[in-house]
């Protein structure tokens, strides 16, 4: 077992990531080793051909987790024994895998940045053999995390200055829940209910009680008294187990006007929130906050903009990408050397099949052109030399050089980057109505990539 930096200085033991892959990555490797093409210098790029229906921009998330996965992509004795036992690859390939260490370079959009169709979100360079093995693990991380971050970004935009609480752990796989919490924080959420996410990534954690705690006691008053005695008057009391109005009266009676917050988890949230706010104010609890939960998504959050709500708790819709659980990214070979000789020039390659699954050949750069007001107006992608007017607007940054990770960023830095990137888009980017990507994608050298 090795260790990886999974947060802000937090060291957590993680196993090898080498089997987070598809079998055909290894069978391609075996065939390439046998044919003598495995050592050809190659360039793979991660991109998406389209954004999910109705989305105006994408959010790059999971880059830090990708770097951890690349560092821990090691074929240890147990992994090699499994491959040998199942006869996945031959002995020569197993010998090659035993010494595998990614020694190439990775460039990418900084985590938290926005992207558009065709954006070269990540570029992986090295021999074909070492790059092809990383396809599945890179895509599995970026597709999941970017989908969650995009949903979170839309929700945080709809929420405005009101904080969002991620509380979807029980609605997804236990490990996906931790990754979802991280991605949600990147997209603008303020905290999580998931303690594993708090431990691994130092995300603020929150939580007080559920309906079960109220039902445990002989009366709602007994439940509230027990919670306040344990957690103090600044706690959040859940007030919709029985009768909301009676629960609010009881809550203030027990905790006093200094009651921290009440949570509403059912009913017509718009109507109930107004009634609860009026009741709290009449009882003198003018500083007590109102938190709403109950299957919220970005549209429900936007509909509550005029309600006296102070924070939102979001679960199912967040961890499922609000209807789009994947970012549909792909990992394609876009250039390769004509031989395995050092210094052999790169040749652009591209998939030309029908059905919309084409790709654009060539090792690409990307830049974002701004209008006269400093607002983004186009995502420009090209090969070869970068035009002088775009040289200072390039998006890809070095992440790994010679197999060594160059970038370790805190989630707060990434979160702030996303907020700035979103703010630099046209105002229509944050509209929830369906529409095309807010920026067009332009190819500086034409779609052939030549």
The predicted-structure confidence for 391-410, as pLDDT tens digits, reads as follows 999 999 999 999 999 999 99
Of 163, 203, 171, whose CA–CA distance to 10 is shortest? 203
Q: What are phi and psi of 442, to 5 degrees?
A: -115, 140
- Count how many Cα atoms sit within 13 Å of the Cα of residue 415 in the half-sphere of its side chain: 18
Domains detected in the chain: 2-133+328-443 (3.20.140.10), 157-322 (3.20.20.70)
Q: Is the dihedral of CA 390, 396, 398, 401 positive or negative?
A: negative
The token duo for 125 is 């360079």
Of 184, 142, 176, 143, whose CA–CA distance to 314 is shortest? 184
3-state secondary structure of 320: coil
Distances in whole angstroms, Cα of residue 375 to Cα of each of 279, 419, 429, 444: 45, 14, 11, 20
Q: What are phi and psi of 279, to 5 degrees?
A: -65, -45
Q: What are phi and psi of 357, to 5 degrees?
A: -95, 45
Interval 95-106 mean pLDDT: 97
Residue 43 DSSP class? E
Buried b (16+ CB within 10 A) or exposed e, 324-357: bbebbbbbbbbbbbeeeeeeeebebbbeeeeeee
Per-residue pLDDT at 354: 66
Per-residue pLDDT at 5: 41
- Residues 6+ away with beta carbon under 8 Å from 415: 112, 185, 186, 188
Buried b (16+ CB within 10 A) or exposed e, 11-34: eeebebbbbbbeeeebebbbebbe
Return the residue matching tokens 């905790």.
Answer: 255
Convert the pLDDT of each residue in 406-444 to its tens digit: 999 999 999 999 999 999 999 999 999 888 999 999 998
Convert the pLDDT of each residue in 25-69 to its tens digit: 999 999 999 999 999 999 999 999 999 998 999 999 999 999 999
Per-residue pLDDT at 2: 34
In angstroms, the first-to-last Cα distance of the chain is 45
Interval 10-19 mean pLDDT: 72
Q: How far apart are CA 96 and CA 61, in angstroms?
A: 32
Q: How far apart are CA 188 and CA 159, in angstroms?
A: 10
Averaged confidence pLDDT in the chain:
94
């Amino acid at each position: 077992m090795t260790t990886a930096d999974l947060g802000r200085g937090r060291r957590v033991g993680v196993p090898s990531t080498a089997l987070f892959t598809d079998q055909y990555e290894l069978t391609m490797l075996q065939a390439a080793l046998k044919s003598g093409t495995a050592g050809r210098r190659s360039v793979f790029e991660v991109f998406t051909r389209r954004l999910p229906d109705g989305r105006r921009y994408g959010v790059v998330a999971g880059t830090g987790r990708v770097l951890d996965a690349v560092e821990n992509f090691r074929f240890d004795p147990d992994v090699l024994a499994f491959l040998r036992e199942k006869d996945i690859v031959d002995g020569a390939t197993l010998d090659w895998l035993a010494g595998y260490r990614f020694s190439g370079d990775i460039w990418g959009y900084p985590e938290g940045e926005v992207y558009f169709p065709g954006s070269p979100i990540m570029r992986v360079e090295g021999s074909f053999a070492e790059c092809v093995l990383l396809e599945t693990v890179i895509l599995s991380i970026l597709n999941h995390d970017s989908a969650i971050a995009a949903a979170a970004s839309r929700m945080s935009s709809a929420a405005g200055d009101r904080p969002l609480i991620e509380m979807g752990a029980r609605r997804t796989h236990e490990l996906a829940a931790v990754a979802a919490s991280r991605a949600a924080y990147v997209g603008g959420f303020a905290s999580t209910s998931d303690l594993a996410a708090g431990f691994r990534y130092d995300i603020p954690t929150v939580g007080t009680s559920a309906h079960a705690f109220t039902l445990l006691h002989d009366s709602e008053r007994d439940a509230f008294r027990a919670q306040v005695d344990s957690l103090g008057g600044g706690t959040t009391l859940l007030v919709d187990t029985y009768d909301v109005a009676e629960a609010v009266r009881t809550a203030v009676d027990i905790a006093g006007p200094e009651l921290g917050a009440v949570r509403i988890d059912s009913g017509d949230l718009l109507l109930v929130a107004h009634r609860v706010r009026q009741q709290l104010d009449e009882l003198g609890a003018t500083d007590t906050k109102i938190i709403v939960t109950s299957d919220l998504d970005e549209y429900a959050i936007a509909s509550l903009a005029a309600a006296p709500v102070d924070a939102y708790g979001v679960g199912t819709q967040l961890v499922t990408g609000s209807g789009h659980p994947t970012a549909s990214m792909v990992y394609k070979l876009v250039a390769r050397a004509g031989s395995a000789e050092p210094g052999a020039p790169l040749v652009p390659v591209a998939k030309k099949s029908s059905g919309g699954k084409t790709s654009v050949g060539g090792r690409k750069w990307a830049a974002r052109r701004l209008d006269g007001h400093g607002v983004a107006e186009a995502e420009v992608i090209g090969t070869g030399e970068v035009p002088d007017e775009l040289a200072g607007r390039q998006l890809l940054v070095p992440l790994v050089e010679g197999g060594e990770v160059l970038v370790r960023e805190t989630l707060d830095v990434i979160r702030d980057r996303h907020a700035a990137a979103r703010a630099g888009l046209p105002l229509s980017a944050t509209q929830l109505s369906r529409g095309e990507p807010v920026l067009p994608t332009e190819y500086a050298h034409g779609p052939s990539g030549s």
